[in-house]
Structure 1
Amino acid sequence: MDGDLGDFLRSRRARIRPEDVGLPSYGRRRVPGLRREEVAQLAGVSVDYYIRLEQGRGPGGTSRTKSGGVSDAVLDSIARVLRMNATEHAYLRTVARPPKKQARRRNTPPGVRPGVQLLLDSMDRTPAFVLGPAMEALAWNALGDALHGFSGLPPARRNLVRHLFLEPEGRDLYPEWSAVAAQCVATLRLSAGAHADNSGVRELVGELSLKSEDFRRLWADHQVRACLYGEKRFRHPVAGLLTLSYESLTLPETPEQTLVVYTPEPGSETAERLALLGSWASTSA
Protein backbone atom coordinates (compact mmCIF):
# COMPACT_ATOMS: atom_id res chain seq x y z
CA MET A 1 0.00 0.00 0.00
CA ASP A 2 1.48 3.29 -1.16
CA GLY A 3 2.96 5.43 1.60
CA ASP A 4 3.44 2.56 4.05
CA LEU A 5 7.21 2.97 4.32
CA GLY A 6 7.15 6.71 5.03
CA ASP A 7 4.16 6.53 7.36
CA PHE A 8 5.73 3.66 9.28
CA LEU A 9 9.07 5.43 9.72
CA ARG A 10 7.36 8.64 10.85
CA SER A 11 5.24 6.75 13.37
CA ARG A 12 8.31 4.97 14.78
CA ARG A 13 10.46 8.09 15.19
CA ALA A 14 7.52 9.97 16.76
CA ARG A 15 7.61 7.63 19.76
CA ILE A 16 11.37 8.09 20.47
CA ARG A 17 12.34 10.96 22.78
CA PRO A 18 15.71 12.65 22.15
CA GLU A 19 16.90 11.78 25.65
CA ASP A 20 16.14 8.11 24.95
CA VAL A 21 18.99 8.05 22.43
CA GLY A 22 21.39 10.37 24.25
CA LEU A 23 20.48 13.61 22.47
CA PRO A 24 19.78 16.90 24.28
CA SER A 25 16.21 18.11 24.19
CA TYR A 26 15.92 21.84 23.48
CA GLY A 27 12.56 22.89 24.87
CA ARG A 28 9.27 22.01 23.27
CA ARG A 29 9.20 20.56 19.75
CA ARG A 30 6.60 21.19 17.09
CA VAL A 31 6.15 17.46 16.61
CA PRO A 32 6.86 14.60 19.04
CA GLY A 33 9.86 12.34 18.75
CA LEU A 34 13.08 12.58 16.79
CA ARG A 35 13.66 14.85 13.83
CA ARG A 36 14.61 13.29 10.50
CA GLU A 37 18.03 14.89 10.75
CA GLU A 38 18.60 13.23 14.11
CA VAL A 39 17.59 9.79 12.82
CA ALA A 40 19.94 10.21 9.86
CA GLN A 41 22.83 11.28 12.12
CA LEU A 42 22.35 8.38 14.53
CA ALA A 43 21.90 5.86 11.70
CA GLY A 44 25.02 7.04 9.89
CA VAL A 45 23.32 8.10 6.64
CA SER A 46 22.89 11.45 4.95
CA VAL A 47 19.80 13.51 5.73
CA ASP A 48 18.84 13.53 2.04
CA TYR A 49 19.12 9.73 1.91
CA TYR A 50 16.81 9.30 4.92
CA ILE A 51 14.31 11.86 3.61
CA ARG A 52 14.07 9.93 0.34
CA LEU A 53 13.26 6.78 2.32
CA GLU A 54 10.46 8.54 4.22
CA GLN A 55 9.11 9.79 0.91
CA GLY A 56 9.01 6.22 -0.38
CA ARG A 57 11.79 6.83 -2.92
CA GLY A 58 14.87 4.75 -3.47
CA PRO A 59 18.37 5.90 -2.56
CA GLY A 60 19.03 7.16 -6.06
CA GLY A 61 15.69 7.54 -7.76
CA THR A 62 12.22 8.99 -7.61
CA SER A 63 10.22 5.80 -7.85
CA ARG A 64 9.19 3.72 -4.87
CA THR A 65 10.10 0.58 -6.78
CA LYS A 66 13.76 1.63 -6.68
CA SER A 67 13.86 1.37 -2.88
CA GLY A 68 15.01 -2.20 -3.42
CA GLY A 69 18.51 -0.68 -3.38
CA VAL A 70 18.35 -0.07 0.37
CA SER A 71 20.96 -2.26 2.04
CA ASP A 72 20.42 -4.53 5.03
CA ALA A 73 23.02 -2.50 6.93
CA VAL A 74 21.08 0.76 6.49
CA LEU A 75 17.76 -0.80 7.45
CA ASP A 76 19.35 -2.51 10.45
CA SER A 77 20.84 0.78 11.57
CA ILE A 78 17.54 2.65 11.23
CA ALA A 79 15.72 -0.13 13.09
CA ARG A 80 18.28 0.13 15.90
CA VAL A 81 17.94 3.92 16.18
CA LEU A 82 14.14 3.71 16.21
CA ARG A 83 14.23 0.83 18.70
CA MET A 84 12.17 -1.53 16.61
CA ASN A 85 11.42 -4.99 17.87
CA ALA A 86 12.01 -8.06 15.70
CA THR A 87 8.54 -7.95 14.13
CA GLU A 88 8.81 -4.24 13.30
CA HIS A 89 12.31 -4.77 11.92
CA ALA A 90 11.08 -7.52 9.60
CA TYR A 91 8.14 -5.35 8.51
CA LEU A 92 10.53 -2.47 7.74
CA ARG A 93 12.52 -4.72 5.40
CA THR A 94 9.32 -5.86 3.69
CA VAL A 95 7.88 -2.39 3.00
CA ALA A 96 11.29 -0.88 2.15
CA ARG A 97 11.91 -3.53 -0.49
CA PRO A 98 8.51 -4.61 -1.83
CA PRO A 99 8.40 -7.30 -4.50
CA LYS A 100 8.09 -6.16 -8.10
CA LYS A 101 4.52 -5.20 -8.77
CA GLN A 102 2.52 -7.38 -11.09
CA ALA A 103 -0.47 -6.40 -13.17
CA ARG A 104 -3.39 -5.75 -10.86
CA ARG A 105 -5.79 -8.66 -10.71
CA ARG A 106 -8.04 -10.20 -8.14
CA ASN A 107 -6.04 -12.64 -6.10
CA THR A 108 -7.91 -15.89 -5.71
CA PRO A 109 -6.57 -17.70 -2.66
CA PRO A 110 -5.69 -21.33 -3.30
CA GLY A 111 -8.13 -23.81 -1.92
CA VAL A 112 -7.37 -25.63 1.30
CA ARG A 113 -5.90 -29.05 0.62
CA PRO A 114 -8.16 -32.04 1.37
CA GLY A 115 -5.58 -33.27 3.88
CA VAL A 116 -5.84 -30.01 5.80
CA GLN A 117 -9.63 -30.24 5.87
CA LEU A 118 -9.32 -33.81 7.14
CA LEU A 119 -7.01 -32.55 9.88
CA LEU A 120 -9.56 -29.89 10.84
CA ASP A 121 -12.39 -32.41 10.98
CA SER A 122 -10.33 -34.73 13.19
CA MET A 123 -10.14 -31.99 15.85
CA ASP A 124 -13.59 -32.69 17.22
CA ARG A 125 -12.95 -31.15 20.65
CA THR A 126 -11.25 -27.90 19.64
CA PRO A 127 -12.37 -25.04 17.38
CA ALA A 128 -10.03 -24.76 14.38
CA PHE A 129 -10.02 -22.95 11.05
CA VAL A 130 -7.73 -21.76 8.23
CA LEU A 131 -7.31 -18.08 7.38
CA GLY A 132 -6.08 -16.43 4.19
CA PRO A 133 -3.89 -13.29 3.94
CA ALA A 134 -6.84 -10.93 4.51
CA MET A 135 -7.84 -13.00 7.57
CA GLU A 136 -10.72 -14.51 5.63
CA ALA A 137 -11.94 -17.96 6.70
CA LEU A 138 -11.10 -20.53 4.03
CA ALA A 139 -11.99 -23.72 5.93
CA TRP A 140 -13.11 -24.76 9.41
CA ASN A 141 -14.25 -27.66 11.55
CA ALA A 142 -17.61 -28.04 13.31
CA LEU A 143 -16.57 -26.33 16.54
CA GLY A 144 -14.82 -23.52 14.69
CA ASP A 145 -18.07 -22.96 12.83
CA ALA A 146 -20.10 -23.11 16.04
CA LEU A 147 -17.83 -20.49 17.63
CA HIS A 148 -17.69 -18.03 14.70
CA GLY A 149 -20.71 -18.95 12.55
CA PHE A 150 -18.80 -19.08 9.25
CA SER A 151 -21.24 -21.31 7.39
CA GLY A 152 -24.17 -19.00 8.10
CA LEU A 153 -22.48 -16.07 6.35
CA PRO A 154 -22.01 -15.32 2.65
CA PRO A 155 -18.37 -15.81 1.55
CA ALA A 156 -17.64 -12.07 1.44
CA ARG A 157 -18.48 -11.74 5.15
CA ARG A 158 -16.45 -14.72 6.38
CA ASN A 159 -13.67 -12.43 7.53
CA LEU A 160 -12.55 -12.05 11.14
CA VAL A 161 -11.51 -8.39 10.82
CA ARG A 162 -14.63 -7.34 8.94
CA HIS A 163 -16.84 -9.18 11.44
CA LEU A 164 -15.00 -7.53 14.34
CA PHE A 165 -15.49 -3.96 13.13
CA LEU A 166 -18.65 -3.97 11.01
CA GLU A 167 -20.97 -6.55 12.56
CA PRO A 168 -22.76 -5.78 15.87
CA GLU A 169 -22.29 -9.37 17.05
CA GLY A 170 -18.56 -8.97 16.42
CA ARG A 171 -18.32 -6.53 19.32
CA ASP A 172 -20.53 -8.67 21.53
CA LEU A 173 -18.39 -11.78 20.99
CA TYR A 174 -15.29 -10.39 22.74
CA PRO A 175 -15.42 -9.06 26.33
CA GLU A 176 -12.04 -7.36 25.72
CA TRP A 177 -13.05 -5.98 22.32
CA SER A 178 -10.56 -3.08 22.28
CA ALA A 179 -7.54 -5.32 22.91
CA VAL A 180 -8.70 -7.86 20.33
CA ALA A 181 -9.31 -5.10 17.78
CA ALA A 182 -5.83 -3.61 18.26
CA GLN A 183 -4.19 -7.04 17.92
CA CYS A 184 -6.24 -7.84 14.84
CA VAL A 185 -5.34 -4.60 13.04
CA ALA A 186 -1.65 -4.97 13.92
CA THR A 187 -1.70 -8.49 12.48
CA LEU A 188 -3.54 -7.35 9.34
CA ARG A 189 -0.94 -4.61 8.75
CA LEU A 190 1.81 -7.20 8.99
CA SER A 191 0.00 -9.31 6.39
CA ALA A 192 -0.61 -6.24 4.20
CA GLY A 193 3.13 -5.60 4.09
CA ALA A 194 3.85 -9.17 3.04
CA HIS A 195 1.00 -9.25 0.47
CA ALA A 196 1.07 -5.68 -0.84
CA ASP A 197 -0.48 -6.60 -4.20
CA ASN A 198 -3.22 -8.86 -2.82
CA SER A 199 -6.49 -7.28 -3.92
CA GLY A 200 -8.44 -8.91 -1.09
CA VAL A 201 -6.23 -7.24 1.52
CA ARG A 202 -6.36 -3.87 -0.22
CA GLU A 203 -10.13 -3.96 -0.63
CA LEU A 204 -10.66 -4.96 2.99
CA VAL A 205 -8.49 -2.11 4.28
CA GLY A 206 -10.30 0.32 1.97
CA GLU A 207 -13.75 -0.83 3.07
CA LEU A 208 -12.95 -0.73 6.78
CA SER A 209 -11.23 2.64 6.47
CA LEU A 210 -14.43 4.07 5.00
CA LYS A 211 -16.89 2.40 7.34
CA SER A 212 -15.20 2.18 10.74
CA GLU A 213 -13.73 5.08 12.70
CA ASP A 214 -12.17 2.61 15.16
CA PHE A 215 -10.38 0.84 12.33
CA ARG A 216 -9.12 4.11 10.82
CA ARG A 217 -7.66 5.14 14.18
CA LEU A 218 -5.93 1.81 14.79
CA TRP A 219 -4.67 1.55 11.21
CA ALA A 220 -3.12 5.03 11.47
CA ASP A 221 -1.09 3.88 14.50
CA HIS A 222 1.02 1.63 12.22
CA GLN A 223 1.39 -1.06 14.85
CA VAL A 224 2.64 -4.43 13.58
CA ARG A 225 2.38 -7.60 15.61
CA ALA A 226 2.47 -11.30 14.86
CA CYS A 227 -0.49 -13.11 16.40
CA LEU A 228 1.21 -16.48 16.99
CA TYR A 229 -0.20 -17.65 20.30
CA GLY A 230 -2.00 -16.36 23.35
CA GLU A 231 -5.31 -16.43 25.13
CA LYS A 232 -8.64 -15.02 24.07
CA ARG A 233 -12.00 -14.75 25.80
CA PHE A 234 -15.35 -15.13 24.06
CA ARG A 235 -18.87 -14.29 25.16
CA HIS A 236 -20.74 -16.84 23.07
CA PRO A 237 -24.55 -16.48 22.80
CA VAL A 238 -25.04 -20.23 23.39
CA ALA A 239 -22.01 -21.44 25.37
CA GLY A 240 -21.48 -18.35 27.51
CA LEU A 241 -18.04 -17.16 28.62
CA LEU A 242 -15.14 -19.14 27.11
CA THR A 243 -11.44 -18.72 27.84
CA LEU A 244 -9.33 -20.36 25.13
CA SER A 245 -5.64 -20.57 24.35
CA TYR A 246 -4.76 -20.32 20.67
CA GLU A 247 -1.90 -21.28 18.39
CA SER A 248 -1.44 -19.91 14.84
CA LEU A 249 0.59 -22.08 12.48
CA THR A 250 1.65 -21.22 8.92
CA LEU A 251 0.99 -24.07 6.50
CA PRO A 252 4.35 -24.93 4.84
CA GLU A 253 3.15 -25.52 1.26
CA THR A 254 0.80 -22.51 1.32
CA PRO A 255 2.49 -19.87 3.50
CA GLU A 256 -0.32 -17.40 2.85
CA GLN A 257 -2.63 -19.73 4.81
CA THR A 258 -2.68 -19.93 8.61
CA LEU A 259 -4.12 -22.70 10.74
CA VAL A 260 -5.64 -21.38 13.98
CA VAL A 261 -6.49 -23.80 16.80
CA TYR A 262 -8.23 -22.92 20.09
CA THR A 263 -7.80 -25.20 23.10
CA PRO A 264 -9.45 -25.05 26.54
CA GLU A 265 -7.75 -25.88 29.82
CA PRO A 266 -8.47 -29.59 30.45
CA GLY A 267 -11.18 -30.09 33.05
CA SER A 268 -12.08 -26.41 33.09
CA GLU A 269 -15.53 -24.86 32.92
CA THR A 270 -14.65 -23.71 29.40
CA ALA A 271 -13.93 -27.29 28.37
CA GLU A 272 -17.36 -28.34 29.65
CA ARG A 273 -19.07 -25.46 27.89
CA LEU A 274 -17.19 -26.21 24.69
CA ALA A 275 -18.39 -29.82 24.83
CA LEU A 276 -21.96 -28.56 25.24
CA LEU A 277 -21.45 -26.22 22.30
CA GLY A 278 -20.31 -29.17 20.19
CA SER A 279 -23.42 -31.13 21.16
CA TRP A 280 -25.61 -28.14 20.37
CA ALA A 281 -23.91 -27.68 16.98
CA SER A 282 -24.34 -31.33 15.99
CA THR A 283 -28.01 -31.26 17.08
CA SER A 284 -28.63 -28.06 15.14
CA ALA A 285 -26.95 -29.53 12.07
Structure 2
Amino acid sequence: MTSNDLGDFLRARRARLGPDDVGLVSYGARRVAGLRREEVAVLAGMNSDYYARLEQGRERSPSPQILEAIGSALSLGDEAREHMFRLAGTAPEGARPQPRETVGPELRRLLDGYPNAAAFVLNPATDFLASNALADSLFSPFESVDNLARMIFLDPAARSFFIQWGRAAEAVVAGLRHATGLDPHYRRLHDLVGSLAEASEEFAALWSSHAVHGKTRDGKELLHPDVGPLALTFQTFDVRGASGQQLVIYHAEPGSPSAQTLALLGSLHATHRRECATEQYTPS
Protein backbone atom coordinates (compact mmCIF):
# COMPACT_ATOMS: atom_id res chain seq x y z
CA MET A 1 0.00 0.00 0.00
CA THR A 2 1.18 3.56 -0.70
CA SER A 3 1.22 6.65 1.53
CA ASN A 4 -1.79 8.01 -0.39
CA ASP A 5 -4.13 5.03 -0.29
CA LEU A 6 -7.26 7.18 -0.19
CA GLY A 7 -6.20 9.19 -3.23
CA ASP A 8 -5.30 6.05 -5.16
CA PHE A 9 -8.69 4.58 -4.34
CA LEU A 10 -10.61 7.70 -5.40
CA ARG A 11 -8.72 7.97 -8.70
CA ALA A 12 -9.29 4.31 -9.52
CA ARG A 13 -13.00 4.50 -8.76
CA ARG A 14 -13.38 7.77 -10.70
CA ALA A 15 -11.75 6.14 -13.73
CA ARG A 16 -14.39 3.40 -13.73
CA LEU A 17 -17.30 5.80 -14.28
CA GLY A 18 -18.30 7.72 -17.38
CA PRO A 19 -20.64 10.71 -17.61
CA ASP A 20 -23.49 8.49 -18.80
CA ASP A 21 -23.16 6.35 -15.67
CA VAL A 22 -23.97 9.29 -13.39
CA GLY A 23 -26.37 11.27 -15.56
CA LEU A 24 -23.94 13.92 -16.80
CA VAL A 25 -23.60 15.31 -20.30
CA SER A 26 -20.13 14.74 -21.74
CA TYR A 27 -18.28 17.74 -23.15
CA GLY A 28 -14.85 18.24 -24.70
CA ALA A 29 -12.18 15.67 -25.53
CA ARG A 30 -11.26 13.37 -22.64
CA ARG A 31 -7.57 12.66 -22.23
CA VAL A 32 -8.12 9.89 -19.69
CA ALA A 33 -10.87 7.37 -19.00
CA GLY A 34 -13.58 8.10 -16.51
CA LEU A 35 -15.00 11.19 -14.87
CA ARG A 36 -13.06 14.41 -14.45
CA ARG A 37 -12.25 15.60 -10.94
CA GLU A 38 -14.50 18.61 -11.43
CA GLU A 39 -17.40 16.33 -12.32
CA VAL A 40 -17.00 14.29 -9.15
CA ALA A 41 -16.85 17.53 -7.16
CA VAL A 42 -20.08 18.75 -8.75
CA LEU A 43 -21.82 15.46 -8.02
CA ALA A 44 -20.58 15.54 -4.42
CA GLY A 45 -21.51 19.20 -3.97
CA MET A 46 -18.03 20.37 -2.99
CA ASN A 47 -15.24 22.64 -4.16
CA SER A 48 -13.26 21.03 -7.01
CA ASP A 49 -9.95 22.24 -5.55
CA TYR A 50 -10.74 20.49 -2.27
CA TYR A 51 -11.54 17.25 -4.07
CA ALA A 52 -8.28 17.54 -6.06
CA ARG A 53 -6.34 17.91 -2.81
CA LEU A 54 -7.98 14.72 -1.51
CA GLU A 55 -6.84 12.73 -4.53
CA GLN A 56 -3.34 14.23 -4.39
CA GLY A 57 -2.93 13.45 -0.70
CA ARG A 58 -2.66 17.10 0.28
CA GLU A 59 -5.89 16.87 2.28
CA ARG A 60 -6.00 13.89 4.62
CA SER A 61 -8.80 14.61 7.08
CA PRO A 62 -12.12 14.62 5.22
CA SER A 63 -15.21 14.68 7.39
CA PRO A 64 -17.69 11.79 7.39
CA GLN A 65 -20.13 14.09 5.56
CA ILE A 66 -17.58 14.71 2.80
CA LEU A 67 -16.90 10.98 2.47
CA GLU A 68 -20.61 10.20 2.27
CA ALA A 69 -21.01 12.74 -0.52
CA ILE A 70 -18.05 11.30 -2.45
CA GLY A 71 -19.36 7.77 -1.96
CA SER A 72 -22.67 8.78 -3.51
CA ALA A 73 -20.95 10.64 -6.37
CA LEU A 74 -18.83 7.58 -7.20
CA SER A 75 -21.76 5.15 -6.81
CA LEU A 76 -19.90 3.11 -4.20
CA GLY A 77 -21.51 -0.01 -2.76
CA ASP A 78 -21.62 -0.62 0.98
CA GLU A 79 -18.32 -2.49 1.16
CA ALA A 80 -16.45 -0.03 -1.06
CA ARG A 81 -17.87 2.87 0.98
CA GLU A 82 -16.75 1.21 4.22
CA HIS A 83 -13.31 0.66 2.71
CA MET A 84 -13.05 4.35 1.76
CA PHE A 85 -13.93 5.43 5.30
CA ARG A 86 -11.25 3.22 6.75
CA LEU A 87 -8.64 4.48 4.29
CA ALA A 88 -9.52 7.99 5.42
CA GLY A 89 -8.86 7.00 9.03
CA THR A 90 -12.38 7.60 10.26
CA ALA A 91 -12.85 4.03 11.52
CA PRO A 92 -11.89 3.62 15.18
CA GLU A 93 -8.32 2.41 15.53
CA GLY A 94 -7.74 -0.73 17.54
CA ALA A 95 -11.43 -1.66 17.57
CA ARG A 96 -10.78 -4.83 15.56
CA PRO A 97 -8.58 -7.48 17.19
CA GLN A 98 -5.81 -9.10 15.17
CA PRO A 99 -6.91 -12.19 13.22
CA ARG A 100 -6.49 -15.53 14.97
CA GLU A 101 -4.19 -17.90 13.07
CA THR A 102 -5.15 -21.17 14.75
CA VAL A 103 -8.38 -23.16 14.56
CA GLY A 104 -9.92 -24.55 17.73
CA PRO A 105 -10.84 -28.22 18.16
CA GLU A 106 -14.58 -27.47 18.12
CA LEU A 107 -14.34 -25.86 14.68
CA ARG A 108 -12.21 -28.72 13.37
CA ARG A 109 -14.89 -31.18 14.50
CA LEU A 110 -17.50 -29.03 12.76
CA LEU A 111 -15.55 -29.26 9.49
CA ASP A 112 -15.58 -33.04 9.71
CA GLY A 113 -19.34 -32.89 10.24
CA TYR A 114 -19.80 -31.95 6.57
CA PRO A 115 -19.13 -35.32 4.86
CA ASN A 116 -20.86 -34.26 1.64
CA ALA A 117 -19.34 -30.79 1.37
CA ALA A 118 -15.85 -29.39 1.08
CA ALA A 119 -15.35 -27.20 4.16
CA PHE A 120 -12.32 -25.15 5.11
CA VAL A 121 -11.28 -22.15 7.19
CA LEU A 122 -9.40 -19.12 5.82
CA ASN A 123 -7.84 -16.11 7.49
CA PRO A 124 -8.18 -12.60 5.94
CA ALA A 125 -5.08 -13.26 3.80
CA THR A 126 -6.80 -16.42 2.41
CA ASP A 127 -4.37 -18.78 4.15
CA PHE A 128 -5.87 -22.24 4.71
CA LEU A 129 -6.02 -22.78 8.48
CA ALA A 130 -7.97 -26.05 8.44
CA SER A 131 -9.90 -28.25 6.00
CA ASN A 132 -11.92 -31.44 5.95
CA ALA A 133 -11.17 -34.54 3.88
CA LEU A 134 -13.42 -33.58 0.98
CA ALA A 135 -11.81 -30.13 0.73
CA ASP A 136 -8.40 -31.82 0.63
CA SER A 137 -9.69 -34.01 -2.21
CA LEU A 138 -11.22 -31.08 -4.07
CA PHE A 139 -8.00 -29.05 -4.06
CA SER A 140 -5.70 -32.02 -4.65
CA PRO A 141 -4.67 -30.84 -8.18
CA PHE A 142 -2.71 -27.99 -6.59
CA GLU A 143 0.92 -28.43 -5.65
CA SER A 144 0.30 -26.95 -2.22
CA VAL A 145 -3.00 -26.09 -0.53
CA ASP A 146 -1.71 -23.21 1.55
CA ASN A 147 -3.09 -19.88 0.34
CA LEU A 148 -6.07 -19.48 -1.99
CA ALA A 149 -4.87 -16.26 -3.65
CA ARG A 150 -1.39 -17.69 -4.24
CA MET A 151 -2.90 -20.87 -5.66
CA ILE A 152 -5.12 -18.94 -8.09
CA PHE A 153 -2.35 -16.71 -9.44
CA LEU A 154 0.83 -18.77 -9.13
CA ASP A 155 -0.13 -22.45 -9.40
CA PRO A 156 -0.51 -23.60 -13.06
CA ALA A 157 -3.30 -25.98 -12.02
CA ALA A 158 -5.63 -23.05 -11.33
CA ARG A 159 -6.16 -22.15 -14.99
CA SER A 160 -7.89 -25.45 -15.73
CA PHE A 161 -9.34 -26.07 -12.25
CA PHE A 162 -11.34 -22.82 -12.21
CA ILE A 163 -13.35 -22.91 -15.44
CA GLN A 164 -14.01 -19.18 -15.05
CA TRP A 165 -10.50 -18.36 -13.89
CA GLY A 166 -10.83 -14.61 -14.53
CA ARG A 167 -13.90 -14.42 -12.33
CA ALA A 168 -12.18 -16.35 -9.53
CA ALA A 169 -9.12 -14.10 -9.78
CA GLU A 170 -11.18 -10.91 -9.63
CA ALA A 171 -13.16 -12.20 -6.65
CA VAL A 172 -10.16 -13.16 -4.54
CA VAL A 173 -8.41 -9.83 -5.20
CA ALA A 174 -11.55 -7.84 -4.35
CA GLY A 175 -11.82 -9.86 -1.14
CA LEU A 176 -8.21 -9.10 -0.21
CA ARG A 177 -8.79 -5.41 -0.89
CA HIS A 178 -11.85 -5.53 1.38
CA ALA A 179 -9.77 -7.20 4.08
CA THR A 180 -7.14 -4.44 3.98
CA GLY A 181 -9.84 -1.92 4.78
CA LEU A 182 -11.14 -3.97 7.70
CA ASP A 183 -7.67 -4.41 9.16
CA PRO A 184 -5.09 -2.01 7.65
CA HIS A 185 -2.39 -3.13 10.11
CA TYR A 186 -2.49 -6.88 9.39
CA ARG A 187 1.12 -7.60 8.40
CA ARG A 188 0.48 -11.03 6.85
CA LEU A 189 -1.96 -9.48 4.38
CA HIS A 190 0.45 -6.70 3.38
CA ASP A 191 3.23 -9.24 2.83
CA LEU A 192 1.00 -11.43 0.66
CA VAL A 193 -0.16 -8.52 -1.51
CA GLY A 194 3.42 -7.36 -1.99
CA SER A 195 4.69 -10.78 -3.00
CA LEU A 196 1.79 -11.47 -5.39
CA ALA A 197 2.04 -8.04 -7.02
CA GLU A 198 5.72 -8.72 -7.66
CA ALA A 199 5.17 -12.26 -8.96
CA SER A 200 2.02 -11.76 -11.06
CA GLU A 201 1.28 -8.90 -13.46
CA GLU A 202 -2.35 -10.03 -13.56
CA PHE A 203 -2.64 -9.72 -9.79
CA ALA A 204 -0.98 -6.29 -9.85
CA ALA A 205 -3.42 -5.06 -12.50
CA LEU A 206 -6.46 -6.31 -10.60
CA TRP A 207 -5.14 -4.90 -7.32
CA SER A 208 -4.73 -1.46 -8.90
CA SER A 209 -8.41 -1.50 -9.96
CA HIS A 210 -9.45 -1.07 -6.28
CA ALA A 211 -12.51 -3.32 -6.65
CA VAL A 212 -13.86 -4.12 -3.17
CA HIS A 213 -16.27 -6.79 -2.04
CA GLY A 214 -16.52 -9.77 0.25
CA LYS A 215 -18.85 -12.39 -1.18
CA THR A 216 -20.90 -14.58 1.12
CA ARG A 217 -22.48 -16.80 -1.54
CA ASP A 218 -21.80 -17.56 -5.21
CA GLY A 219 -21.45 -20.35 -7.75
CA LYS A 220 -18.22 -22.09 -8.76
CA GLU A 221 -17.59 -24.04 -11.93
CA LEU A 222 -14.64 -26.35 -11.42
CA LEU A 223 -12.88 -29.01 -13.49
CA HIS A 224 -11.19 -31.69 -11.41
CA PRO A 225 -8.76 -33.92 -13.34
CA ASP A 226 -9.92 -37.04 -11.49
CA VAL A 227 -13.70 -36.73 -11.85
CA GLY A 228 -14.48 -33.98 -14.36
CA PRO A 229 -16.67 -30.86 -14.11
CA LEU A 230 -18.34 -29.73 -10.90
CA ALA A 231 -21.02 -27.04 -10.51
CA LEU A 232 -20.88 -26.02 -6.86
CA THR A 233 -22.18 -23.25 -4.63
CA PHE A 234 -20.03 -21.78 -1.91
CA GLN A 235 -21.14 -20.02 1.25
CA THR A 236 -18.94 -18.08 3.63
CA PHE A 237 -19.55 -17.53 7.35
CA ASP A 238 -17.65 -15.39 9.85
CA VAL A 239 -16.39 -17.47 12.77
CA ARG A 240 -17.57 -15.95 16.01
CA GLY A 241 -14.90 -15.90 18.68
CA ALA A 242 -12.06 -16.20 16.15
CA SER A 243 -11.38 -12.78 14.70
CA GLY A 244 -10.82 -12.70 10.94
CA GLN A 245 -11.55 -16.38 10.33
CA GLN A 246 -14.09 -17.45 7.72
CA LEU A 247 -15.69 -20.85 7.31
CA VAL A 248 -16.16 -21.62 3.59
CA ILE A 249 -18.36 -24.46 2.40
CA TYR A 250 -18.50 -25.75 -1.19
CA HIS A 251 -21.56 -27.92 -1.81
CA ALA A 252 -23.60 -29.30 -4.69
CA GLU A 253 -27.33 -29.35 -5.24
CA PRO A 254 -28.63 -32.56 -3.58
CA GLY A 255 -29.30 -35.28 -6.14
CA SER A 256 -27.54 -33.38 -8.93
CA PRO A 257 -24.82 -34.83 -11.18
CA SER A 258 -22.31 -32.61 -9.35
CA ALA A 259 -23.39 -34.07 -6.00
CA GLN A 260 -22.70 -37.56 -7.35
CA THR A 261 -19.37 -36.42 -8.80
CA LEU A 262 -18.36 -34.80 -5.51
CA ALA A 263 -19.20 -38.01 -3.63
CA LEU A 264 -17.15 -40.00 -6.15
CA LEU A 265 -14.22 -37.66 -5.63
CA GLY A 266 -14.35 -38.16 -1.87
CA SER A 267 -14.55 -41.94 -2.29
CA LEU A 268 -11.60 -42.07 -4.71
CA HIS A 269 -9.35 -40.07 -2.45
CA ALA A 270 -10.43 -41.98 0.67
CA THR A 271 -9.49 -45.23 -1.11
CA HIS A 272 -6.16 -43.72 -2.16
CA ARG A 273 -5.38 -42.65 1.41
CA ARG A 274 -6.19 -46.14 2.74
CA GLU A 275 -3.94 -47.74 0.14
CA CYS A 276 -1.10 -45.37 1.01
CA ALA A 277 -1.53 -46.12 4.71
CA THR A 278 -1.50 -49.87 4.01
CA GLU A 279 1.67 -49.60 1.98
CA GLN A 280 3.30 -47.51 4.67
CA TYR A 281 2.66 -50.04 7.45
CA THR A 282 3.04 -53.30 5.47
CA PRO A 283 6.34 -55.03 6.38
CA SER A 284 8.66 -55.48 3.42
- Give the TM-score range, shorter chain: 0.7 to 0.9
Aligned to 2:74: 82
Aligned to 2:15: 14
Does the CA-based 8 Å contact 2:141-2:157 persist in structure 1?
A: no
Give CA-to-partner distance per residue, 1:50-101, whole Å, 9 cap, x none.
2332234545xxxxxxx3xx33221111011111122221221122226688
Structure 2: runs of 5 or more not aligned:
274-284
Decide whether aligned partners of structure 1 residues 44 and 147 sit closer, same or farther in structure 2, where only a CA change above 3 A counts. Answer: same
CA gap of 1:130–1:57, structure 2 versus 1, over 3 A, is farther
Q: Given that residues 100 and 243 in structure 2 are in contact (C-alpha distance below 8 angstroms), is that contact kept between their aligned partners in structure 1? A: no
Aligned position for 1:93: 85
- Give the structure 2 partner of residue 63 of structure 1: none
Question: How far off is 1:245 after superposition?
Answer: 0.7
Check whether the contact 1:150–1:158 (CA below 8 A) recurs between aligned residues. Answer: no
Query: What's the TM-score once normalised by structure 2's chain length?
Result: 0.86
Give the equivalent residue in structure 2 for 1:122.
Answer: 113
1:17-28 equivalences in 2 (<5 Å): 17-28=18-29
Q: 1:130 to 1:109 in 2, by over 3 A?
A: same
Cα RMSD (Å): 2.3
**What are the ranges of 5 or more consecutive residues in structure 1 without an aligned counterpart?**
60-66
Q: For the Cα contact (< 8 Å) 2:239–2:246, is it kept in 1?
A: yes
Alignment of 1:162-173 (within 5 A): 162-173=150-161
Matched, 1:213 2:201: yes
| Aligned equivalent of 1:179 | 167
Task: Say if 1:184 and 1:108 are closer, same or farther in 2 by CA, change over 3 A.
Answer: closer
Deviation at 1:173, TM superposition (A): 0.9
Q: Distance in 1 between matches of 2:209 and 2:22?
A: 22
1:248 aligned onto 2:211? no
Contact 1:195–1:201, Cα closer than 8 Å, also in 2: no
| CA apart distance, 1:134 | 0.5
Asked if the contact 1:137–1:150 (Cα under 8 Å) also holds between the matched residues in 2, the reply is no
8 Å CA contact 1:247, 1:262 repeated in 2: yes
Deviation digits for residues 144-200 of structure 1, max 9, x if unmatched?
1111139973xxx60011011101112221111111111111111111222222121
Partner of 1:202: 190
- In the alignment of these two chains, the number of paired residues is 269
Runs of 4+ in 1 over 4 A off after TM superposition: 98-102
Answer yes or no: is the 8 Å Cα contact 2:101–2:129 preserved in 1. no
1:278 is aligned to 2:266: yes
- SS of the residue corresponding to residue 130 of structure 1 reads strand
Return the TM-score normalized by structure 1: 0.86
